[in-house]
Amino acid sequence: MSTDWLLTQLHWQQPGFWMLLSFLTGLIVLALRRFIRPERYAQLRFGRWFAIPYLGLLFGGISPRLMGLSDIDWVAGLGTGVLMIFAVLVILLLIRATLHLDEITVDERPPASPIDRLHQVIHAGVQEFHWTFLRAGTWELMLSAPVGYPQPAYWSVWIASMLALPGIFTQYQRTSQRLIASVVLLTTAILFLYTRNFWLAWLLHACTQILLGQRTRPQPTSAVPQ
């Protein structure tokens, strides 16, 4: 791979700059985890998910089209997307019906309030925003690389999913939580692969989190975790 190409990716109008910045800030936030409260850590992670992709879009380093934010083929994508969302939700309903609730949720708690539901929807949107940023950044890197990669639109989705997996394992501690988040990542990746539509991926992401009862807001604590 050309050294000149790698150096050009360090410019703020290139996707490589924003992908690297996302990775480095992720390491910094993770390093701070032991020294701050869980709710503060969640806020920093949430801010990173939104701020870096947004700034990348603002400065022209990331393509809104590749993120599924513009030039969307709603006629073709909506039919396919709705069918896929419906099929996935039916499968998840069957899974939820066959498993005990306390085995797939974080803990026993009363039914979620409207505020909790709203938080789940917003959390799903921001996390999906981060995931589509990884997909778009990887896609654009493959397109601009001096070595031609076959099917960059296809492989970028799966490479980005692999890049997102470590974040899931650091975000959640329990196996059930990680499994739910991985299912969300997989299903939204497949949906995005066929529709290239961030908005439909957000819809599926939010519905899945609500349906499976995935907690998105940590409980406040009075002590800093050691």
| Tens digit of each residue's pLDDT (9 = 90 or more) over 76-125 | 788 888 888 888 888 877 766 765 544 444 444 556 678 888 899 999 99
Instruction: Compare 124 and 75 and report the one with higher pLDDT.
Output: 124
Average pLDDT along the chain:
86
Whether 226 shows a pLDDT value over 50: the answer reads no
Instruction: Compare 86 and 66 and report the one with higher pLDDT.
Output: 66
Inside any domain, residue 141: yes
Q: Specify whether the CB–CB gap between 138 and 153 falls below 8 A.
A: no
Q: Model confidence at 216, in pLDDT bands (50, 70, 90)? A: low
Instruction: Compare 174 and 2 and report the one with higher pLDDT.
Output: 174
Whether 202 shows a pLDDT value over 80: the answer reads yes
Between the CA of residue 151 and those of 156, 192, 195, what are the distances in Å? 8, 15, 16
Between the CA of residue 166 and those of 4, 26, 154, 155, what are the distances in Å? 29, 10, 21, 18
Q: Specify whether the CB–CB gap between 190 and 84 falls below 8 A.
A: yes
Nearest to 66 by CA among 133, 150, 136, 153: 136
Whether 213 shows a pLDDT value over 70: the answer reads no
Inside any domain, residue 220: no
Report which listed range, 1-5, 9-13, 28-32, 222-226, is most confident.
28-32
Whether 205 shows a pLDDT value over 50: the answer reads yes
> Number of structural domains, the chain?
1
Inside any domain, residue 218: no
Whether 25 shows a pLDDT value over 60: the answer reads yes
- pLDDT value at residue 18: 97
Is pTM beyond 0.95? Reply is: no
Q: Model confidence at 128, in pLDDT bands (50, 70, 90)? A: very high
- pLDDT value at residue 98: 67
As a whole number, mean pLDDT of residues 56-64 equals 96
Inside any domain, residue 226: no
As a whole number, mean pLDDT of residues 121-142 equals 96
Q: Model confidence at 217, in pLDDT bands (50, 70, 90)? A: low
Inside any domain, residue 9: yes
Inside any domain, residue 221: no
SS3 219: coil
Structural domain that includes position 163: 3-212
- CA-CA distance, 126 to 132, in Å (whole number)? 10
- CA-CA distance, 139 to 15, in Å (whole number)? 9
As a whole number, mean pLDDT of residues 21-41 equals 94
Q: Specify whether the CB–CB gap between 166 and 160 falls below 8 A.
A: no
- CA-CA distance, 172 to 191, in Å (whole number)? 24
